Each structure stands twice: as C-alpha cells, then as structure tokens.
C-alpha cells in the first residue's frame, strides 16, 4: 500500500463529511443518511490520516496498515451498529457492562478498544518501521549537508557581491 | 468563565473548608518550588521555549495530557454530560485513537525537524516544510488570536475559583492567578511549564480516579446509574445522549482530527531528549488521558442519577455538577484535591499558551518579516509579561466577550493548523500556496461564522458546528489549491525536510 490510496481515502472521507453537512442545510433538517456520512467519513479521516503519517518513503508497512484498517473497522463498525440497532435505553434496556447496549457499543468499542491495540501496534513496530538509530543518523547527516550547502551558497553570494563591487 | 461561576454558586462557605484551602495552598507551594528550580536552569532561548530539548517521555506524555485537558474537563464537561447525556462524551471519545494518531502523524516528524533545523515553534515547522515565511507568519497570527482568548478565559475562570476559595474578590483573583502563573512561566519558561504540568497532571489524574471511585459507590455502579436514569429519561443514556446523532458525530470529527492542530501539544514534541523514546508516548499518553477523563464521563451521569432517584434536587446550572458532587459525596480532602485539580487544569493550559504566544511574537513574526530578534530569551520573557497583562486586562474588562473569544480556540487551531501542519508534514505534494490558502480560510471562516453566530445574524443548521465546517473547508481548500499548484511542490522541499518526511 502506498500513500496515494491513503490520500485518496482522506479526500473521499472529507467529501463524505461535506455531503453530510450539505444535507443538513435541506429544509426539514438532515435525513438519516447524513449521520452515516459523518460516521463513515470520520472513521475514514482518522484511519487515512494514520496511514499517511505512518508511511515511510511513500510505503505503508504491515503493522501500520493493520492499525489503520482496524481503526476504520472499529470506529465505523461501532457507530454503524449504534445507528442500525433499535433504540432501547429506557426502563427495559438491556444493560451491557453498565450501559444500555447501543451506548456500550459506542463507549467500549470506539472509546476503549483502540486503546488496547493502537499503542501496542505502535510500540511493536517502532524500531523496525518508525524510527531507528540509522534514521536519526540520516537526519543528522542531511542536516549537516544542508548547513554546509547553505554556507557554500552564502559564501558564493558574498564573493559575487564583492566581484560586482570591484567592477 | 463557567468554571468559576459554578464554584461561586456551589456555596463558597463550603469551599472555604480548612482541608480544601490547605490542599490548594500545598499545591501553590509545590508549583512555586518547581518555578524556582526551573528558573535556575533556564539560561537560553532553547531552555525557555523548548526546555533545552531535555525532557523524558513520561514527562512529555503527562505534560501533554495536562495541557490538553483544561478546566473544561473537570467542570464544563461533566456539566455538559449532566445536561445532554452521553452525547457529550463524543468530545473525548476519540482520545482512544488521537494519541497514537498524533505520534504517527506529528511527533516523529516534528521532533526530527527540530533535530535537523533546531526549530522551536509550531509555525517554524510550517515555515520549514513549505520554505515559506508567509505561511509561518500567518499561522503565528492565527495562533495568537486563539491564544489571547484562551488565556483571558482561563484567567477569568481561575480568578473566580480563587475568589470562591479565598474570598479575594474577582478582580484580585484574576491578577493573583495571572501573577502566580506568570511568576514561574516568565522566569522558568517552558521548563517550569512542563514540570509544573507534570505535577498538575498527576494531581488531575489522582483527583479523577478518586472521584470516579465515589461515582461508582454513590450510585450503585454504572448499572445503577443507567437504571436510575433510564427509568425517567430514555434519551439521556442513549448512544448520542439527547443530541441528534449528527451533532454527536460532528463533535467526534472535530475533536478527533482537530487534535492534530493543537500547538500546545505539538510544540512539546520538540522538547523530548531522545526521539527514540517516542515509542512509549502513545501508551503513556493514552493511559494518562483515559484515567483523567473518568471524572468527565462519570460525574455528570452520577449527578443525573442522584437527581432521578430524588437524592439531590435538580441543579440550577449544569456546571454545578462537579462542585455539587464532590462537596456532597466525597470527603473534604478529596474535594480539596479536585479543586486543586481545577486550578491545575487552568494554570497548565495557560502557561503553555503564554510560552507559545511569546514565541509567536518574538520568533515567528520577525522571521516572517525577514528579521531576527537578537536576544530571544530576554524578549520572550518580556512578551510573556505583556501577553499576560493584556489577557488579564481583557478578562477584567470585557465580560461575555472573553467567553466568546475562548469558545472558538480549539476550532481555530484545528482549522488553521491541521492541513498545513499535519497533512503538510506527511504529503510531499502539498504546496505553500495550499498551506497559505488553508490557513487564511480557517482563520477567516472561523472568525466570521463565530461572530455571525454570536450576534445571531446567521447560524448553521443543527448538527453542523462552526469548528467542523471551518476545518472541513480549510482541508478542501488545501487539497484543491495544492493540486492546482502541484507543479511547484517539489521545488518547495528542502533536502533535509525531504529526508524527515521520507523516514
């Protein structure tokens, strides 16, 4: 997977949210599908930004791909189930882990489950995929070369000015 | 403003209990001691603005959490949960994702840019990425607009809290709050800021976990809360609370993606001593955040359950939820810890903004104009003082305007910084034209829509927030303008920046 699909997914997700917002301007307010646009769009925005940020040299490694895909599935799935299931939060509500079913899905699936895998995937892939000692060395070298090139540019410009003044 | 108003209405006599005042005084003494220690170690602009690149990952994570969660997390948030139900939790729901997201999108690249270029501010990163002083200056201006509002609202809130606890009067309370925060920020800079943030973060976490224990015991656990509320109000405990689904999801979008544009968090990535320690940042930050948000989620529901059970009268103001709960259901020492946590929340947010505001004026704006300030440390201290006095004066004289300025801070940061910073650092096809256009779009749209809404000239339909609309449009402008000017993208990337973006 490259960053291009991630970028495309980001643009499409933003478009889905824009569509949802536009529907809200309709007389009578937003139809139910607008909430779906925001639910899927928000999941897509977060997952595609994650993929964009985790990419190295334009390519996405397996652990980061897994993190992005799981994020999308968990968020869109959690919100999707809450939108699909019938409302039942009153006196006869089915309580799961302290909350009515649909609320438990949102709070635990979207609000808790990513905590269980995202930091772990990040830490597990960090040395190989995110930042190694070699990467740091590469940055320091590029920085030193940049500084050297800037110094050479400044010296060249100064010499040219001096030559012009002599003329 | 609501923080202090809530406390004022929550029986000042109860707040003046010796245990509460004693805890608050101990808190101030510790903060003062950290300030003195940091002042002795602050010897350069690098120490003042980025803590000499010398902090560890635990300090980074807890300080970032402390400055992210302002007084709103302890007072306004629980109040919102009390009034609209679980829908209010969507403000913090994305915290399960945003800390790891921030690590991948921002932390590594900003820290490496700091390594390569010696950068010290968030606009520095935008300027370096796009080789554009204009983008750097414009982002600094956008940040300053939001910072002044944030600082003024927090001074007002802190002034009201100090007045409620010590009976100083509002005016003196504002100036005392300003002087205490200023005393360690102007001398110890961000070094004092991050270590007081560390202490304040620990206070907040301890307060939140302790209060959550009382939430569970007072109301028969979460099931007891759900049953009690469900018997009288179907919607409250629904997945969106009493809000339309679209409004709740809109909060999730803004606070999820918007987290990548918060300069007081992004700025801290420069300070990390060893970039390789970022490996543990998401784990530490997520754990700290989850524990500290227990109070946000639990108190509003617990108070609503107590009202449903007839054990408490309905609150006159939703923001009274936390003061009413801690004064009614926890021992005085815990109440003292919570009120110290409220002060901590305000001060840790303000000191970060004092520092990045001073950096914007001392460092970013002169660079945008092609100039450099000779002694950034001295001028940084001077501008910290000026900004603080200006914000305190604004807090004192402008009443509701301050609340108005404080409302859109988060959204303004998000709309102006997410495209150019978060996407810009990760997409080589982005251009300086796209960055400048998106920052300008975010700034103008947020100011215009918030102003029109405030004066009731125009408001967006239900489910569409100003922050969401501004963020979305600035993103779309960023994509469209970058795409139309894509031929210039490659020439706008310096070699070292390209290396940072490829890693």
Q: Are residues A41 and A121 in the same domain?
A: yes
**3-state secondary structure (DSSP) of residue A61:** coil
Which residues of chain A, if any, have pLDDT below 70? Answer: 1, 147-167
Chain B residue numbers touching A56 (CB-CB < 8 A):
502-503
Provide the β-strand partners of residue A59.
A2, A56
pLDDT in tens, B153-211: 888 878 877 887 777 888 898 899 899 888 888 877 888 888 888 998 998 899 999 99
- Distance, in angstroms, between A163 CA and closest chain B CA? 25
pLDDT for B271: 92
Interface test with B, best of A57, A80, A100, A140 (most B CBs within 10 A): A100
Half-sphere exposure of B320 (CA within 13 A, CB side): 16
Asked if residue B1 has pLDDT above 50, the reply is no
Q: Are residues A117 and A136 in the same domain?
A: no
CB–CB of B67/B348 below 8 Å? yes
**Any idea where the domains of chain B sit in the sequence?**
2-397
Interface test with B, best of A25, A99, A145 (most B CBs within 10 A): A99
pLDDT for B22: 85
d(CA B4, CA B165): 10
pLDDT for B5: 52
Other beta carbons within 10 Å of B30: 15
Count the residues in chain A. Answer: 167
d(CA B4, CA B39): 30
Query: First-to-last CA distance in chain B?
Result: 44
Q: Are residues A72 and A149 in the same domain?
A: no
Number of domains making up chain A: 2
DSSP one-letter string for B286-313: HHHHHHHTHHHHHHHHHHHHHHHTTSSP
Q: Are residues A85 and A74 in the same domain?
A: yes
- Distance, in angstroms, between B112 CA and closest chain A CA? 7
pLDDT in tens, B341-397: 888 778 878 888 988 999 999 999 999 999 888 888 888 889 999 999 999 998 888
pLDDT for A167: 47
- Distance, in angstroms, between B462 CA and closest chain A CA? 7
Helix residue ranges per DSSP H, B70-132? 76-84, 90-93, 95-102, 108-117, 122-130
Q: How confident is the model at residue B455 (pLDDT cuts 50, 70, 90)?
A: confident
Lowest mean pLDDT among B2-16, B101-115, B163-177, B257-271: B2-16
Determine the average pLDDT of the residues in B87-98. 96
Chain A residue numbers touching B273 (CB-CB < 8 A):
none
Chain A's closest residue to B246, CA to CA, is A35
Determine the average pLDDT of the residues in B287-300. 95
pLDDT for B474: 97
Chain A's closest residue to B258, CA to CA, is A46
pLDDT for B335: 87
Give the range of the structural domain holding residue A153, as residue numbers without chain letter: 132-167
Main-chain phi, psi angles of A99, to 5 degrees: -130, 155
**B495/A142 touch (CB, cutoff 8 Å), yes or no:** yes
Chain A residue numbers touching B272 (CB-CB < 8 A):
none
d(CA A45, CA B464): 17
Chain A's closest residue to B115, CA to CA, is A140
Q: Are residues A39 and A62 in the same domain?
A: yes
- Among the partner-chain residues A29, A98, A118, the one whose CB lies closest to the CB of B97 is A118
- Distance, in angstroms, between A156 CA and closest chain B CA? 19
Q: How confident is the model at residue B471 (pLDDT cuts 50, 70, 90)?
A: very high
Q: How confident is the model at residue B404 (pLDDT cuts 50, 70, 90)?
A: low
Q: Are residues A81 and A49 in the same domain?
A: yes
DSSP one-letter string for B350-403: HHHHHHHHHHIIIIIHHHHTT---S-HHHHHHHHHHHHHHHHHHHHHH-THHHH
Which architecture characterizes domain B2-397 according to CATH? Answer: Up-down Bundle (1.20)
CB–CB of B271/B116 below 8 Å? no
Asked if residue B3 has pLDDT above 60, the reply is no
pLDDT for B131: 94
């Amino acid at each position: 997977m490259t960053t291009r699909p991630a970028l495309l997914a980001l643009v499409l997700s933003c478009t889905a949210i824009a569509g949802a917002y536009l529907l809200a301007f309709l007389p009578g307010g937003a139809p139910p599908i607008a909430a779906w646009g925001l639910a899927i769009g928000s999941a897509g925005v977060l997952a595609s930004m994650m993929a964009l940020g985790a990419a190295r040299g334009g390519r996405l490694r397996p652990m980061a791909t897994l993190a992005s895909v799981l994020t999308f599935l968990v968020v869109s799935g959690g919100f999707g189930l809450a939108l699909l299931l019938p409302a039942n939060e009153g006196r006869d509500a089915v309580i799961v882990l302290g909350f009515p079913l649909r609320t438990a899905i949102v709070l635990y699936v979207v609000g808790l489950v990513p905590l269980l895998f995202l930091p772990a995937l990040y830490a597990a892939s960090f040395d190989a995929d995110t930042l190694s000692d070699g990467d740091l060395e590469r940055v320091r070298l590029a920085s030193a070369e940049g500084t050297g090139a800037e110094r050479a540019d400044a010296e060249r410009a100064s010499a040219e000015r001096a030559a012009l003044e002599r003329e | 403003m609501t923080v202090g108003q809530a406390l004022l209405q929550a029986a000042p006599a109860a707040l003046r209990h010796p245990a509460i005042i004693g805890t608050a005084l101990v808190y101030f003494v510790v903060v003062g001691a950290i300030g003195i220690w940091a002042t002795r170690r602050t010897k350069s602009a690098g120490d003042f603005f980025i803590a000499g690149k010398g902090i560890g990952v635990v300090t980074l994570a807890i300080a970032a959490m402390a400055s992210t969660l302002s007084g709103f997390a302890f007072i306004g948030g629980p109040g919102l949960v009390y009034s609209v139900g679980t829908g209010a939790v969507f403000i913090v729901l994305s915290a399960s994702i945003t800390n790891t997201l921030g690590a991948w999108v921002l932390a590594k690249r900003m820290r490496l840019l700091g390594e390569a270029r010696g950068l010290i501010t968030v606009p520095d990163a935008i300027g370096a990425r796009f080789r554009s002083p204009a983008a750097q200056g414009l982002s600094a201006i956008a940040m300053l607009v939001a910072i002044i509002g944030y600082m003024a609202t927090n001074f007002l809130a802190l002034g009201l809290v100090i007045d409620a606890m010590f009976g100083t009067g509002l005016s003196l309370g504002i100036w005392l709050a300003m002087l205490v925060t200023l005393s360690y920020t102007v001398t110890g800079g961000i070094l004092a800021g991050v270590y007081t943030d560390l202490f304040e973060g620990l206070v907040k976490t301890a307060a939140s976990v302790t209060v959550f224990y009382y939430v569970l015991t007072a109301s028969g656990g979460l099931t007891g809360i759900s049953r009690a509320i469900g018997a009288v109000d179907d919607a409250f405990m629904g997945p969106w609370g009493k809000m339309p689904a679209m409004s709740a999801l809109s909060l999730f979008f803004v606070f999820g993606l918007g987290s990548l544009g918060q300069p007081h968090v992004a700025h801290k990535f420069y300070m990390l001593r060893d970039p390789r320690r970022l490996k543990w940042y998401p784990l530490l930050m997520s754990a700290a955040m989850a524990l500290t948000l227990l109070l946000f989620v639990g108190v509003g529901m617990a108070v609503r359950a107590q009202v449903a059970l007839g054990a408490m009268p309905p609150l006159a103001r939703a923001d009274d939820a936390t003061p009413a709960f801690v004064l009614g259901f926890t021992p005085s020492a815990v109440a003292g810890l919570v009120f110290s946590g409220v002060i901590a929340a305000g001060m840790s947010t303000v000191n970060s903004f004092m520092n990045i505001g001073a950096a914007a004026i001392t460092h970013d704006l002169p660079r945008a104009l092609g100039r450099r300030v000779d002694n950034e440390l001295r001028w940084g201290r001077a501008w910290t003082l000026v900004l603080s006095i200006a914000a305190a004066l604004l807090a004192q004289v402008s009443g509701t305007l301050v609340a108005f300025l404080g409302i859109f801070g988060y959204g303004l940061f998000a709309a102006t910084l997410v495209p150019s910073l978060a996407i810009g650092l990760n997409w080589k096809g982005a251009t300086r034209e796209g960055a400048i256009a998106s920052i300008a779009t975010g700034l103008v749209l947020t100011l215009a829509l918030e102003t029109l809404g405030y004066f009731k000239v125009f408001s967006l339909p239900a489910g569409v927030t100003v922050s969401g609309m501004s963020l979305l449009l600035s993103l779309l402008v960023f994509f469209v303008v970058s795409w139309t000017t894509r031929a210039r993208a490659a020439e706008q990337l310096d070699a070292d920046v390209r290396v940072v973006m490829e890693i």
